[in-house]
Amino acid sequence: QVQLQESGPGLVKPSETLSLTCAVSGYSISSGYYWGWIRQPPGKGLEWIGSIYHSGSTYYNPSLKSRVTISVDTSKNQFSLKLSSVTAADTAVYYCARLVLWTTYYFDYWGQGTLVTVSS
Amino acid sequence: QSALTQPRSVSGSPGQSVTISCTGTSSDVGGYNYVSWYQQHPGKAPKLMIYDVSKRPSGVPDRFSGSKSGNTASLTISGLQAEDEADYYCCSYAGSYTFDGVVFGGGTKLTVL
């Protein structure tokens, strides 16, 4: 059974960089699939942040691209998100998920999510 | 790329059927058969219910079905049960000169009366 678990600080100060890691178990990232980050502000809908392949190939949401970096560490079977220059608008539950694509496109496994609050 | 448009809420009684619509453009819903639907209960992670417009993952009841016509996709839940009360999000691949990724709908709250 594939499982994903987000981890990282729950509180980040404005203008600083948000850093989260997603640990994957039950599947080797090196075996394939894309892996993604999605966020959900309190009481609002889902927003795709970006996705990465095990080779390091990335796709980012253009609205966040200038501030986002997603990286992968196959030796630790995990991938990470960095979002710079955060503001209160970046307060959200951040989810990591496995993305299935190539003649299809959907997220099949999700982490439980982690709330990140941006506040001084 | 704008979010897909969903009704904010729908409701139905146990045993009835409800349909949730998801409207996009020719660059997303209308251009690809890559629409998926997710169910989210309060405080929980989204769960995949439908992918590729109308396919059901293993374990999802056949009461859930999906379809698409033009730029609008739909999720139909028949034989409503109390446990179906949740938020539902549609999602589509979107590809254009300026965007290559995923767009979600704003979400629909389903209330089982």
Closest-CA residue of chain B to A98: B48
B100: contact with A, CB 8 A cutoff: yes
Task: Answer whether A45 sits within 8 Å of B104, measured CB to CB.
Answer: yes
Task: Answer whether A106 sits within 8 Å of B3, measured CB to CB.
Answer: no
Distances A5 to A80, A95, A112 between C-alpha atoms, Å: 11, 9, 7
Question: What's the pLDDT at A47?
Answer: 96
Task: Answer whether A46 sits within 8 Å of B91, measured CB to CB.
Answer: yes
- Measured between beta carbons, the chain A residues lying within 8 angstroms of B54 are none
Question: What's the pLDDT at A32?
Answer: 84
At residue A90, the 3 state secondary structure works out as helix
Tokens of A5: 């678990």
Distance CA B106, CA A46 (A): 7
Q: Which are the contacts of B98, defined by CB distance < 8 A and separation ≥ 6?
A: A62, B1
B109: contact with A, CB 8 A cutoff: no
Q: In what order do the strands lie in the sheet with A3-7?
A: A3-7, A18-25, A78-83, A68-73
CB A3 within 8 A of CB A24: yes
Which residues is B94 bridged to in the sheet?
B101
Alpha carbon dihedral A27, A30, A33, A37, in 10-degree steps, equals 80
Dump pLDDT digits (tens) for B28-40: 999 999 999 999 9
B100: pLDDT confidence band, cut at 50, 70 and 90? Answer: confident
Which of B22, B89, B102 is best to mutate for the A interface (most A CBs within 10 A)? Answer: B102
Q: Which of residues 20-79 of B touch A (CB under 8 A)?
A: 32, 34, 36, 38, 44-48, 51-52, 57
Distance CA B84, CA A1 (A): 24
Distance CA A107, CA A22 (A): 15
Distance CA A112, CA B74 (A): 26
Distance CA B59, CA B99 (A): 33
Distance CA B35, CA B29 (A): 6
Dump pLDDT digits (tens) for B58-90: 999 999 999 999 999 999 999 999 999 999 999
Q: Which are the contacts of B100, defined by CB distance < 8 A and separation ≥ 6?
A: A59, B94
What does the pLDDT average to over A26-38? Answer: 93
Question: Residue A105 is nearest to which of B3, B93, B106, comparing CB atoms?
Answer: B93
Q: Characterize B61-97 residue by residue with b for buried, 16 or more Cβ atoms within 10 angstroms of its Cβ, and e for exposed.
A: eeebbbebeebbbbbebeebeeebbbbbbbbbbbbee
Task: Answer whether B101 sits within 8 Å of A112, measured CB to CB.
Answer: no
Count chain A–chain B contacts defined by CB atoms under 8 A: 65
Tokens of A107: 């997220």
A34: pLDDT confidence band, cut at 50, 70 and 90? Answer: very high
B3: contact with A, CB 8 A cutoff: yes
Task: Answer whether A62 sits within 8 Å of B1, measured CB to CB.
Answer: yes
10 Å Cβ neighbour count for A37?
27
